[in-house]
Amino acid sequence: MGLLLTTPISRARRLARRVKGDPRSPLAGRTVMVTGASSGIGEATARACAARGATVLLVARRAEALDRVRAEIEAAGGAAYCFPVDLTDGEAVDRLVRRVHAEFGPVDHLVNNAGRSIRRSLELTYDRFHDVERTIAINYLAPVRLTLGLLPAMRAQGFGHVVNVVTWGVQVKSPKFAAYIASKAALDVFGRIAGRETYADGVAFTNLRFGLVRTEMIAPTEAYARLRALTPEQAAETVVKALEDRPVTVDLLSARLLELANVVAPRLTDLAFSLADRAFPDSAAARAGSSGRTAPEVRSPSRD
């Protein structure tokens, strides 16, 4: 039966532990790699996993920020190790995989969290194809390469789990996010297909489709300041539950309803989103970076 009943059994075990007052987590003793671990969701997830007894491998570009996170985790009694890597550098990713396997053996859980968000209308993207290229590089190509590097050892040991932090936009199809959502949708589909191919080996894939999370990534969009959003810590609790339960997807009821509307009444939802598109114009940051290929890029910060 393999993974068929993994999620309901895991949830039942959590309830049993809660009733018994047992603090142990299925993550205790496991190795968890978190990308984009220097800030935001990744940092909060690394802390939460370490607090549950996991050995956390911190991956991001910013070495100093990773050292800070590692030191704070260790000060709290956890175990963490730093791996400063530019995930868009394919050879660097391959070296990371070799080093981790040599020092730690197979990784049990991988959280593909590092990413880039760009909110910019098509009208302002005509001369900015590099927005598409850079978004795909970190949101799709990088996590796929890392996943493919770690998968053989996961399959060989008969256990593994990959959590892809994507977005509810893959269901909603929000205007001004064509480059960002398309890259995340590619990762979402990759995860679903990979999960079917690795099912018999005990390796699960989870697509975590978040709504708004209050991180540096959404700061340049003024309209988001008025909207409700999760804190990084709240988002991290969702990631941890996904790591413990290994569901296929985690998403929002509102996103499911909008996804259904896109199927049942596509033109009507096109009209609704067209009106919303006009009501929420491009941010000042998006407009400032759209004057031409030679203009300095102004974008939302990456989760790395």
- What are the CA-CA distances from residue 44 to residues 14, 38, 170, 199, 205 (Å)? 21, 9, 24, 29, 21
CA atoms within 13 A on the CB side of 169: 21
Count of CB atoms situated within 10 Å of the CB of 2: 11
- What are the CA-CA distances from residue 201 to residues 51, 59, 77, 157 (Å)? 28, 26, 33, 8
Cβ atoms of residues 253 and 209 within 8 Å: no
Identified catalytic residue from 81, 126, 180, 199 = 180
- At what angle are helices 232-245 and 6-20 packed, to 10 degrees? 110
Give the β-pairing of 203-208 and 249-250: parallel
Q: What angle (nearest 5°) sits at the alpha carbon of residue 238, between those of residues 236 and 243?
A: 90
User: Token pair of 23, please?
Assistant: 């603090």
Residue for token pair 């309830």: 15
User: For the CA atoms of 35, 39, 41, 47, what is the dihedral angle to 10 degrees?
Assistant: 80
Q: Is 224 a catalytic residue?
A: no
Residues with active-site annotation: 180
